[in-house]
Amino acid sequence: MFRYVTPKEIPNLKSVTQPDGKRFYTLPSGKVVPSVTTVIGAMKKKSIMAWRKRVGEEEANRISRQASSRGTNVHTLCEKYLNNEPIPKDAMPDAAVMFRDLKPLLNRINNIHYQEQALWSERLEMAGRVDCIAEFDGVLSVIDFKTSKRIKTREDITDYFAQCTAYSLMYEELVGTPIDQFVVIMAVNDCPPLIFIEKTEDHINTLVEHINFFNFYQ
């Protein structure tokens, strides 16, 4: 059984997604700020548009829907497992296989602070919803669950690292406790899962680059 040790009650936030896909949150102060994924995704927008043009809109939409559905299904199974809830027997087969492969890594998580919790920063002027904040191998960490069709390297996912860094800083601002480590756990089609354990301080500059890029080009 996973243990929950929530340090502080944090209110939920209202969000609005615009037609162009950008999401904005309203903070308790009334300030409206972009989501972490909106800020981090700004740099990738050009390459995504080029990919959609290359494969065609219909195929791009099909691949995107498939990836989104698989990611949501795997994430839901992970969330239920960490919530000590039974795993549905009618789970989609591909998601069930990925979840099975992830279980040994999920079992290294405990003393869970938050799951699917809204976090924000007045200083960074961003908000978002973190997958999980808990101890991983006994170390307090931001934990992010991802899925992928192929093996990825550290260089492929620097945007994930920036995202986790943002959540680490938001948690510290709201709770008062620094998080020095984050963990990206990635299920991969037909391959063993990947795990990336990183130091928050090593990726602050990357996060700042994303924020500056978004603020300049928005």
Q: 74 and 99 in contact (C-beta within 8 Å)?
A: yes
- pLDDT, averaged per 10 consecutive residues of the chain (218 residues), comes to 95 92 94 95 66 59 60 89 90 86 97 97 96 98 94 95 98 97 95 97 96 84
pLDDT computed for residue 72 by the predictor: 83
pLDDT computed for residue 46 by the predictor: 55
Nearest to 126 by CA among 6, 9, 40, 57: 40
pLDDT computed for residue 101 by the predictor: 95
pLDDT computed for residue 47 by the predictor: 56
Pairing of strands 126-136, 181-188: unpaired
Q: 113 and 134 in contact (C-beta within 8 Å)?
A: yes
pLDDT computed for residue 51 by the predictor: 44
Nearest to 72 by CA among 100, 43, 99: 99
